[in-house]
Chains A and B, each alone.
Chain A
């Protein structure tokens, strides 16, 4: 067995959880691989990780891994995770969500977790559609695309998840694709080590629903689309706006230092926020 496979097997639950529910060719497996490699590289123990998820294809991920896992309701993963982190700040809390989970039904939790800067890692797999329920349009379905609820073309504009996170105040935001698996490893590693709310958006494909409806071909062809449309942040900085029109940036979009919620809370609690004045 290849070393990398051995590593992944170390973190999987081998009792009664397989075969998994994902379609052959789905990008979630690549994201899971990156997540495991990054966790292993960071040196966290299995028991200090809490993996929280909501509902949907991505929401199934915690079922397969041997960490503390919390499978919650659609859209509420970040709210549950906030409670976990507040109750035991020593835990490394990682939240995995899909685009519908994170920015539709759970959109409010997402912007407020970013604004509050609570020490959580949010991994969001963006495949532009609700895959599990049959291919309805989501908030990241691009304008003009077909879904089962936009039979001719989609008339709404899409959220840009990473930019939304930056604007909402997240101090770390990275974007990768399942094609650029090594970049994904490093983005996740940085996100896990970041103090504060860290977001990694993973651009993936749903060839079963989105790809089929929009004639985008097989999983491989959709991954080639990712290869051809992703531009690194460094390269994009050298390009003109016109050249970037149908492209998206990958890499670290923001990495800044901001006061972290629990540190600030601790200052208030211990009265160390200043000269006896409770205001910082």
Chain B
């Protein structure tokens, strides 16, 4: 029995964690993440969720406590944003290195300075290579479904890695959307209780995170990297099983109208909805553009991307983060390396939009399609849409 209701996406995210029967939540308040953990604390206090909730003294402590809880065998959840994610940075590596299947909802927000509480991807792009599996969401339904799937992916014994579910601050976290919730019974049957392979237990002591000498460290990191790369198969399987059981089908790379166009946008997160609107508008004027949405960002879904990219002539990579002195924005660099390695001849354009919560309009993407925003001649460059110089 599913229920459908109009609900704030943050509250829906906490209900998803409740449906997943999380056992420990350690968090620290930061805008725009707060509604997620606040509602979880209410669910715990009301006895509607059999879990321990602790509001610790910083995000560094939050992720540390999550690692401890997960190492002791609990299904563990947290959420953060922006500065909080960067303060966790050190411990993000500990979580993935110790192979702890923690799930975190990251409510993407701009980084200081200047201080901004609004959405963009500068936080996650600074944490993208921490060894976590990373999913991105376009709407509230995807947030709920991704959190439930995230535990199943993370806890798979061939994976055992933490998973981050990214949702855009405010433009997704604070909007009210119609969302369908699966029943507890159906989630229980999809996601059985977590049985750790190893945990800190007096009956069978183990050591985690121990010192690795130079002759071992490389092998440990290689094994971890291999597990991360191979997790894609599990992710695809879990998405397929979720589709069979709940009727909503997900793939690592999703597309919209790509079959009709030799031009496509590539983007992460909620801006994909604006791009879809722009594509419909273009179509009504007899123009064809496609959209490639990366639902999975880590591990980078190379094969799935190549399958869509191979017959494209022109690609616009749209991103919500500054390159920080790099040749281009992070997603562009990875796609460029993929295209080069596979000897494809595609014109790549790089657009930076929506920094610090700045509005992004479908018209902006129509202008990109029509080349009204002059694409830089040099491919190793990017265009910041609407910037006042």
Contact = CB atoms under 8 A, between A and B. Distances in A.
A149 B53 contact: yes
Interface stretch (B38-46, B99-107, B203-211): B38-46
Q: Is the interface of A mostly helix, strand, loop or mixed?
A: loop
Give the one of A132, A149, A151 with max B CB within 10 A.
A149
A152 B58 contact: no
Interface stretch (B29-37, B130-138, B223-231, B279-287): B29-37
How many B residues are at the interface, by size bracket?
20 to 34
Nearest to A105: B58
Nearest to B42: A151
Contact of B45 (A104, A133, A152): A152
A280 interface: no
B29 A136 contact: yes
Contacts of B35: 134
A150 B45 contact: yes
A151 B29 contact: no
Contact of A130 (B29, B46, B59): B29
Contact of A136 (B34, B59, B112): B34
Given A74-B83, A104-B58, A139-B57, A132 B31 contact: yes
Contacts of B113: 71
A133 B109 CA distance: 14
B41 A73 contact: no
Interface in B328-365: none
B57 A73 contact: no
B41 A150 contact: yes
A104 B83 contact: no
Contacts, number: 51
Interface in A110-136: 130, 132-134, 136
B371 interface: no
A137 interface: yes
Nearest to A152: B45
B31 A151 contact: no
Contacts of B38: 134, 136, 148-149
A107 B31 contact: no
A98 interface: no
A55 B29 CA distance: 12
A75 interface: yes
A249 B55 CA distance: 28
B41 A133 contact: no
B28 interface: yes
Interface string B77-93: 00000010001000000
Nearest to B59: A105
Contacts of A136: 29, 34, 38, 55
A149 B55 contact: yes
B83 A73 contact: yes
Interface in B1-50: 28-31, 34-35, 37-38, 41-42, 45-46
B316 to A, nearest CB: 34
Given A71-B115, A105-B28, A134 B34 contact: yes
B57 A104 contact: yes
Contacts of B42: 148, 151
A130 B38 CA distance: 12
Nearest to B40: A149
A276 to B, nearest CB: 44
B57 A105 contact: yes
A75 B41 CA distance: 23
A133 B34 contact: yes
Give the one of B37, B38, B55, B59 with max A CB within 10 A.
B55
A137 B45 CA distance: 14
Contacts of A152: 45
A107 B57 contact: yes
Give the one of B29, B30, B31 with max A CB within 10 A.
B29
Contact of A149 (B41, B46, B59, B83): B41
B112 A137 contact: no
Nearest to B45: A151
Contacts of A104: 28, 57-58
Contacts of A74: 30, 83
Contact of B37 (A75, A107, A139, A149): A149
6 contacts: A104-B28, A105-B58, A132-B31, A149-B29, A149-B41, A151-B46
Interface of A: 55, 71, 73-75, 104-105, 107, 130, 132-134, 136-137, 139, 148-152
Interface of B: 28-31, 34-35, 37-38, 41-42, 45-46, 53, 55, 57-59, 83, 87, 112-113, 115
Q: Which 3 A-B pairs have the closest CB atoms?
A: A151-B45, A133-B29, A105-B58
Given A130-B29, A134-B34, 6 more contacts: A71-B115, A107-B57, A133-B31, A149-B38, A149-B53, A150-B45
